Amino acid sequence: MHIYNTKTGKKESLIPREPGKVTMYVCGPTTYNYIHLGNARPVVFFDTVRRYLKYKGYEVLYVQNFTDVDDKIINRAREEKDDPIVLAARYIEEYFRDADALNVMRADIHPRVSEHMTEIIDMVRTLVEKGFAYAVDGDVYYDVYKFEGYGKLSGRTLEDMRAGARVDVDERKHHPMDFALWKSAKPGEPAWASPWGQGRPGWHIECSAMSLKYLGTNFDIHGGGYDLIFPHHENETAQSEAATGEPFVRYWMHNGFITINQEKMSKSLGNFFLVREILEKFKPEVVRFYLLSTHYRSPLDFDDEKLTAAGKGLERLKTSLRLLDEALAGREPGDAIPDAGLAVRLDELRVQFETAMDDDFNTALATGIIFDLARDINSFLHSASANTPAGVAALQKAKELFYAFNGVLGVLKTDKKGKILLDEPDGEDDSLVEKLLQVIIQMRQNARKNKDWAAADGIRDQLKELGIVLEDTHSGVRWKKQR
């Protein structure tokens, strides 16, 4: 499989550090608020990367950090008169609620900055000892000139950046681009003891220290949003390679940005949407499906119409699964050989899906292939073969393929037994609802038998207003919840 590597600007074939095992680190959120849509894209996308790698048989070690020590957290805590660490911990819990809703699997390790001070301080000390960093008044800065190749990830030179610098230069720095590894604490700020006095880590050092601790040098995939290339990932590379003398990361992956109504979403512009705000209007599965319907390196625009259109498309996929379940209900394929016509198509579709995903995780193409699968299933259901043992066996195979695709993209949630949930559980007693509906449906069937269309349509219309859709078929009446 091939991955677009930001470091080289090319797609490269994935050759893990250790055969059969992929190590990956993704920059997680700074937890000073609920996560927004922009945070959700990498979370969902890299979750999909991980799922696919596992699907391909790799053992995956996935690490995603939480930045729980940071200026923004301190500011927020001050506003809310709360303790920064407590506040950050609370938003970590909230993060999991949103991530769970989006069907994101937990990382193997979720390290927090506040729990890795020893590693961070050790790394800063190493950098100072090796001459890559210098301390000034309790702060420690990384000396970018000392690191040959600074700028190689983002493709810029120190000269370019000096020319374009728009920041006020701190006189104490050797070079304007020197960045803080350690910041001295002001009174009242959370602080940890260090050789340079009480203070806290700079932003970039945490990811270096934690990724190296859990994954070692030259680990496989490091991911994050496009905006992290510079300065965050550039600085991580500089720190890590200077400290260890080894290559830091093999493949850098960066997802594109999300815009809202064609406008960049940013914290400073204040036009960002929280994940839970979107979830008030759209099902989490629709949000996840939409996030994956565009290639991860392209920008993705959110607006209600687009989400609605995606929701309709997803509904079509779910309908196909419903029809499949209906056709398979109470039937055993036995040891019949699957209908060749469908079976051959199924094999083709699996190859196409894998080819799409192998090519830099082309989830957009992959979702298109699921629509092809849905059409093939629906179409086969119309054919006479559908009722034969061979047909049932082929449909069973189709269902397995559908489940396999869904297992990779993670769009539809499953219960403990792995069965895809087609309707959102809403806390009602489903068996009672089912029984009541059967009574109502029977009454309506009687009306239909008497050609009392007014009564029959009236029942159907009223149920629709309650969010229950009735569909009359040859074999009986089908009902489903809508919205």
Partner RNA sequence: GGCGACAUAGCCAAGCGGUAAGGCAGAGGACUGCAAAUCCUCGAUUCCCCGGUUCAAAUCCGGGUGUCGCCUCCA
Q: Does 469 bind RNA (CB under 7 A)?
A: yes
Of 6-45, binders to RNA (CB under 7 A) are 9, 11, 27, 29-30, 36, 38-39, 41-42
Q: Least Å distance between CB 199 and RNA?
A: 17
Q: Least Å distance between CB 265 and RNA?
A: 4
Among 15, 75, 340, 453, which residue interacts with RNA (rule: CB under 7 A)? 453
Q: Which is nearer to RNA, 246 or 263 (CB)?
A: 263
Q: Residue 360 CB: number of other CB atoms within 10 A?
A: 19
Instruction: Report which DSSP code applies to 274.
Output: B
Of 252-311, binders to RNA (CB under 7 A) are 255-259, 262-268, 272, 293-295, 298-301, 305-306, 308-310
Q: Least Å distance between CB 59 and RNA?
A: 26
Q: Least Å distance between CB 312 and RNA?
A: 4
Of 197-256, binders to RNA (CB under 7 A) are 203, 224-232, 255-256
Among 198, 218, 378, 414, which residue interacts with RNA (rule: CB under 7 A)? 378
- CA-CA distance, 66 to 256, in Å (whole number)? 21
Rg (CA), the chain: 27
Among 379, 438, 446, 462, which residue interacts with RNA (rule: CB under 7 A)? 379
Instruction: Report which DSSP code applies to 204.
Output: T
Among 415, 279, 366, CA closest to 48: 366
Q: Which is nearer to RNA, 120 or 456 (CB)?
A: 456
Helices (H), 56-149: 71-80, 84-101, 117-129
Show the site string, 79-118: x = touches RNA by CB under 7 A, - = not.
----------------------------------------
Of the candidate spans 189-197, 335-343, 410-418, 452-460, the one that interacts with RNA by CB under 7 A turns out to be 452-460
Among 135, 136, 364, 420, which residue interacts with RNA (rule: CB under 7 A)? 364
Edge to edge, the sheet with strand 21-26 lists 59-64, 21-26, 219-225, 249-255
Q: Which is nearer to RNA, 9 or 188 (CB)?
A: 9
Which two tokens mark 139? 């702060």
- CA-CA distance, 174 to 306, in Å (whole number)? 49
By DSSP bridging, strand 2-5 and strand 133-136 are unpaired
Among 44, 253, 357, 470, which residue interacts with RNA (rule: CB under 7 A)? 470
Q: Which is nearer to RNA, 165 or 193 (CB)?
A: 165
Among 41, 2, 105, CA closest to 287: 41
Of 170-199, binders to RNA (CB under 7 A) are 177
| Site size for RNA (CB under 7 A) | 88
Could you tell me the CA-to-CA distances from 170 to 70, 127, 158, 178, 183 in Å, in that order? 20, 21, 16, 9, 14
Q: Does 371 bind RNA (CB under 7 A)?
A: yes
Q: Please, what sign has the CA dihedral across residues 153, 158, 160, 163?
A: positive
Show the site string, 331-360: x = touches RNA by CB under 7 A, - = not.
----------------------------xx
Q: Which is nearer to RNA, 165 or 340 (CB)?
A: 165
Q: Which is nearer to RNA, 275 or 390 (CB)?
A: 275
**Phi–psi pair at 147, nearest 5 degrees:** -100, 110
- CA-CA distance, 11 to 130, in Å (whole number)? 35
Of the candidate spans 112-120, 190-198, 377-385, 422-430, the one that interacts with RNA by CB under 7 A turns out to be 377-385
- CA-CA distance, 454 to 391, in Å (whole number)? 39
Q: How far is Cα of residue 82 from the mean position of the Cα atoms in its chain?
A: 30
Q: Does 448 bind RNA (CB under 7 A)?
A: yes
Tally the residues of the chain.
483
Of the candidate spans 57-65, 152-160, 245-253, 334-342, the one that interacts with RNA by CB under 7 A turns out to be 152-160
Q: Which is nearer to RNA, 4 or 219 (CB)?
A: 4
Q: Least Å distance between CB 20 and RNA?
A: 26
Q: Which is nearer to RNA, 195 or 379 (CB)?
A: 379
Instruction: Report which DSSP code applies to 115.
Output: G
Among 190, 313, 391, 410, which residue interacts with RNA (rule: CB under 7 A)? 313
Is residue 265 within 8 A of residue 274, CB to CB? The reply is no
Of the candidate spans 48-56, 336-344, 370-378, 407-415, the one that interacts with RNA by CB under 7 A turns out to be 370-378
Which two tokens mark 202? 């700079």
Q: Does 362 bind RNA (CB under 7 A)?
A: yes
CA angle (264 as vertex; 412, 300 as ends), nearest 5: 35
Which two tokens mark 20? 């059969």
Three-state SS at 149: coil
- CA-CA distance, 378 to 398, in Å (whole number)? 11
